[in-house]
Amino acid sequence: MEKLSSVAKALEPSPIQQLSFLAQQCNAINLAEGFPDFVAPAHIKNAAVLAINSDFNQYRHVQGICDYVAQKMKEMHDMSIDPLTDIVICCGQSEAFAAAIFAIIDHGDEVIVFDPSYETYDTCIRLAGGVPVYVGLDPPYWTLDPYKLEKAFTDKTKAMVLNSPHNPTGKVFTKDELEAISVVCTRWDVLAVTDEVYEHITYDSRSHVSLASLPGMQSRTVITSSLSKTYSVTGWRVGWAIAPPRIASAIRNIHIRLTDSAPAPFQEAALAALRSPPSYFKTLRSDYESKRDCIFELLVKVGFKMVFKPQGSFFVFAELPETCYLSDIEFVEELIKQAGVVAVPGAGFFHGDGCCSRRYIRFAFCKSNETLTAAAAKINELAEGDGRLKIFEHGKLRVPT
Amino acid sequence: MAENDSTKNSVAPTLQVAKRLEKFKTTIFTQMSSLAIKHSAINLGQGSPNFDGPDFVKEAAIQAIRDGKNQYAPGCGVPDLNLAVAERFKKDTGLVVDPEKEVTVTSGCTQAIAATMLGLVNPGDEVIVFAPFYDSYEATLSMAGAVTKSITLRPPSFSAPIDELRSLVSKTTRAILLNTPHNPTGKMFTREELDAIASICIEHDVLVFSDEVYDKFAFEMDHISIASLPGMYERTVTLNSLGKTFSLTGWKIGWAIAPPQLTWGVRQAHSFLTFATATPLQHAAAAALLAPDSYFEELRRDYLAKKSILVEGLQSVGFKVFPSSGTYFVVVDHTPFGQENDVAFCEYLIKEVGVVAIPTSVFYLNPEEGKNLVRFTFCKDEQTLRNAVERMKEKLIVNTH
């Protein structure tokens, strides 16, 4: 009895989640999934405990979250946002994004998405009846080609998705690139939906610039973000969408029918999180920067082609050297079996037949220093005298002696 | 930098929300709640308690936060919770289900409903609902592109019009959406009614989505899950949640139980709607579901006492109160008080009497059908219920003009 909807039939389980199962079975060190293995900040956990004990456990909308988010957008991007009308609290950025797509996409609408991209955007757009149209970022620096972008627009284009800082590459879109995007969005009268969950995780004194802060963009942009990555509480499901009032209202109406409310005690705890002092963000950034440097150096040393250093997010997108004949999936499987370390094959992030789609591996470094050190040690065990991985030298599987 | 919205060269985009939203504005609950606050009215409208959940459940959540269970849970649920849901279901229905393959945890029952519709219903499929119905059903059905057909449950008994159902089911009917115990009427579907519905479903190969969130609020008869009837498990998605039973409506922990082939569809949609559900609260939910029988017996006793306070009060004031076998709602005929319709009556009740009820017209495809009926809830502490009854006795005057 085949009763699935046609959309559900077309979907496959998340490749990232499947690899996690294999890793668990092999007891592997998980550098695949994008969540920390270190503890969440104490002041935020305490706020959640206090909220539960103070009976903040029924359906809620905590307006204070909107007030703080609006304040932060003013501080970071000099944007003026009305906390009463422009912000919708959702169950994580996941739901904010889904609600935004459902709010604006009709059947047949085209949505431009940059390639590579986080796996969820594609299926969310299709679930709403939309058609994703991919514009490839050019390796090795993942630059945006404005000409390619322009060519992707048609009169069916309704929206564009922008994720910056970017998963999986770690790219932070430059001001010039954002301007090029804003010009073409304005010319074609298209909406932008941004995913800015890594907004506070940028390196080398680089700032995250929000697309909506560019001239003419606030009135046509939906910003989505959350507590998860910034405050290391990916399991709490508190996020938000920021949009001009009429679109925010549409998103709110969808959200209420999808889930009705984000978890109440964590909304309350969000206030403590959003009130964190500037020192919190400084430490967050510098801690992640040193983790980035460690893993980047390791990957260079063992022979990956490392041209582009992550500018933001906690991912590094490493390219397999030419001498490696394994595909990304084969390499990841070998790494699990031989080194007990798991990463994500890049193929799942590409949507097209690009020549590079099987050559990249995504490593997450949102892990404790102990974990990263242990992973480095295990990977180094597979290296030859010159420090490079045996797999890379011989282009084939290591043969046990 | 000034408001960046006022760029002379760009025209503000015309509002481009999706067509699916044309029918949906702010929910009636939001409207009534705002009015209630303005007039300091006692809120017997929205169905969330004004008392809190049991300590043992809250403490389990706190422990989970302190134990570091703050990152993404597996998308389909924390294994302990899936197991607890399966065990509870076995206790309640006798059915044995596989927690890994047949239970999916979601952000509340509302989201389980959304995932079920989006995962199992194709655009153009017909879904039959019983009016009056919980207002998010129509919205999510519309998001899935379904054609919604309704059959009305009529006072005084709200019995299921089986003949009407039989003649409405056709080749294009994908599913019947069942809610028992029923919000807003409090009706509980009898064994005879469920048998009849089951035979129609089996004959026409139709699915059932059964919303059973109020199953522990069964006062006049035992709750029966349609999934437990012969031939029905394979075609039923049973939906439930933690919030009502444990007075933690803001936690948003719900679930869907279905055979593997249907669960597949639910899970695909779920993973792209919210991806995962609040982790520490899932751990606490697992503890909650293992509560001894005495918890549920006390729950019934408490609510029965609350019900008598409200029902006797409403009757003595002059309402025609319809019998309600389950849920914590009761529906009454307000016409003795001479207002034009249910919305007008509710507004009058808030402004002049200081009590909130919900107009039922929003729960029908044809609002006219609900104009004589309003819904009161008794999920409030006894003093609040008594105060509300007092206000109504003082200020509500039977007006037969």
Contact criterion met (CB < 8 Å) for B250 and A263: yes
Please give the average per-residue pLDDT across A254-275, as a whole number. 92
CB A136 within 8 A of CB A354: yes
Tokens representing A61 are: 């909308």
Q: Which of B7, B48, B72, B127 to mutate to test the interface with A (most CBs of A within 10 A)?
A: B72
Contact criterion met (CB < 8 Å) for B3 and A80: yes
Cross-chain CB nearest to A261 (options B123, B250, B264): B250
* Neighboring chain A residues of B107 at a CB cutoff of 8 Å: 91, 95, 237, 259, 263
- DSSP notation for B7-52: -SSSPPPPP---GGGTT--S-HHHHHHHHHHHTT-EE-SSS--SSP
Contact criterion met (CB < 8 Å) for B114 and A94: no
Q: Which of A2, A6, A7, A195 to mutate to test the interface with B (most CBs of B within 10 A)?
A: A7
* Neighboring chain A residues of B235 at a CB cutoff of 8 Å: 1, 3
Other C-beta atoms lying within 10 Å of the C-beta of residue B297: 10
**Between helices B55-66 and A42-53, what is the axis angle to 10°?**
180
- List the one residue out of A333, A341, A331, A296 whose CA is nearest residue A317: A296
Please give the average per-residue pLDDT across A367-373, as a whole number. 96
Decide: helix, strand or coil at residue A389. strand
Cross-chain CB nearest to B71 (options A158, A235, A259): A235
3-state secondary structure A247-276: HHHHHHHHHHHHCCCCCHHHHHHHHHHHCC
Kindly identify which residue of chain A lies nearest to residue B22, measuring between CA atoms.
A250
Kindly identify which residue of chain B lies nearest to residue A3, measuring between CA atoms.
B120
In the numeric block, the tokens 């109406």 are attached to A253
pLDDT band at A330 (very low <50, low <70, confident <90, very high): confident
State how far the Cα of B355 lies from the Cα of B351, in Å rounded to an integer: 8
pLDDT at B5: 39
Please give the average per-residue pLDDT across A145-173, as a whole number. 97
- List the one residue out of A182, A28, A157 whose CA is nearest residue B7: A182
Q: Looking at A24-28, A124-128, A316-320, B186-190, which range is the least confident one?
A: A24-28
Contact criterion met (CB < 8 Å) for B145 and A129: yes
pLDDT at A390: 87
CB A331 within 8 A of CB A319: no
Please give the average per-residue pLDDT across A291-311, as a whole number. 96
Kindly identify which residue of chain A lies nearest to residue B138, measuring between CA atoms.
A257
Contact criterion met (CB < 8 Å) for A45 and B70: yes
State how far the Cα of B25 lies from the Cα of B328, in Å rounded to an integer: 26
Please give the average per-residue pLDDT across A276-293, as a whole number. 96
Q: Which of A16, A17, A59 to mutate to test the interface with B (most CBs of B within 10 A)?
A: A59
Contact criterion met (CB < 8 Å) for A107 and B73: no
List Cα–Cα distances, A92 to A69, A98, A163, A272, in angstroms: 14, 10, 15, 17
Number of H helices, E strands in chain A: 14, 12
Kindly identify which residue of chain B lies nearest to residue A125, measuring between CA atoms.
B272
pLDDT at B372: 96
- List the one residue out of B352, B355, B357, B347 whose CA is nearest residue B389: B355
Cross-chain CB nearest to A49 (options B24, B65, B123): B65
pLDDT at A4: 66
Kindly identify which residue of chain A lies nearest to residue B18, measuring between CA atoms.
A104
* Neighboring chain A residues of B19 at a CB cutoff of 8 Å: 106
State how far the Cα of B347 lies from the Cα of A185, in Å rounded to an integer: 45
Within 8 A by CB and 6+ apart from B117, the residues are B127, B140, B141, B143, B144, B146, B209, B269
CB B120 within 8 A of CB A6: no
Decide: helix, strand or coil at residue A66. helix
Q: Is the pTM of this model over 0.95?
A: no
Within 8 A by CB and 6+ apart from B204, the residues are B169, B170, B171, B173
Tell whether the model's pLDDT for residue A398 goes beyond 60.
no
pLDDT at A175: 95
Q: Looking at A8-12, A112-116, B357-361, which range is the least confident one?
A: A8-12
State how far the Cα of B256 lies from the Cα of B254, in Å rounded to an integer: 7
List Cα–Cα distances, B135 to A194, A386, B129, in angstroms: 30, 67, 11
pLDDT at B379: 97
pLDDT band at A17 (very low <50, low <70, confident <90, very high): low
Contact criterion met (CB < 8 Å) for A5 and B250: no
- What average pLDDT values come out for chain B (401 residues) when binned by 10 residues? 36 59 67 86 91 94 94 93 97 97 96 95 95 91 92 95 97 97 97 98 97 96 97 98 94 96 94 90 96 95 97 96 96 95 95 95 93 97 97 85 52
- The C-alpha angle with vertex A334 and arms to A328 and A336, in degrees rounded to 5, equals 105
Within 8 A by CB and 6+ apart from A137, the residues are A114, A115, A116, A143, A144, A169, A171
**Omega prior to A168 cis, within 30 of 0:** yes
Cross-chain CB nearest to B274 (options A91, A236, A247): A91
* Sheet of A131-136, strands arranged across: A87-90, A239-242, A221-226, A191-195, A157-163, A110-115, A131-136
Contact criterion met (CB < 8 Å) for A106 and B52: no
* Neighboring chain A residues of B71 at a CB cutoff of 8 Å: 35-37, 232-235
- State whether the Cα torsion B15-B17-B19-B22 is positive or negative: negative
- DSSP notation for B95-145: ----HHHHEEEESHHHHHHHHHHHHH--TT-EEEEEES--THHHHHHHHTT
pLDDT at B8: 36
Interface size between A and B, measured as CB pairs under 8 A: 256
Kindly identify which residue of chain A lies nearest to residue B140, measuring between CA atoms.
A257
pLDDT at B106: 96
CB A365 within 8 A of CB A316: yes
3-state percent helix, strand, coil for chain B, nearest multiple of 5: 45, 15, 40
Contact criterion met (CB < 8 Å) for B174 and A6: no
Chain centroid, CA B252 distance in Å: 13
Q: Which of B29, B67, B275 to mutate to test the interface with A (most CBs of A within 10 A)?
A: B275
pLDDT at B135: 84
Kindly identify which residue of chain A lies nearest to residue B108, measuring between CA atoms.
A259
Contact criterion met (CB < 8 Å) for A257 and B110: yes
Cross-chain CB nearest to A260 (options B108, B123, B235): B108
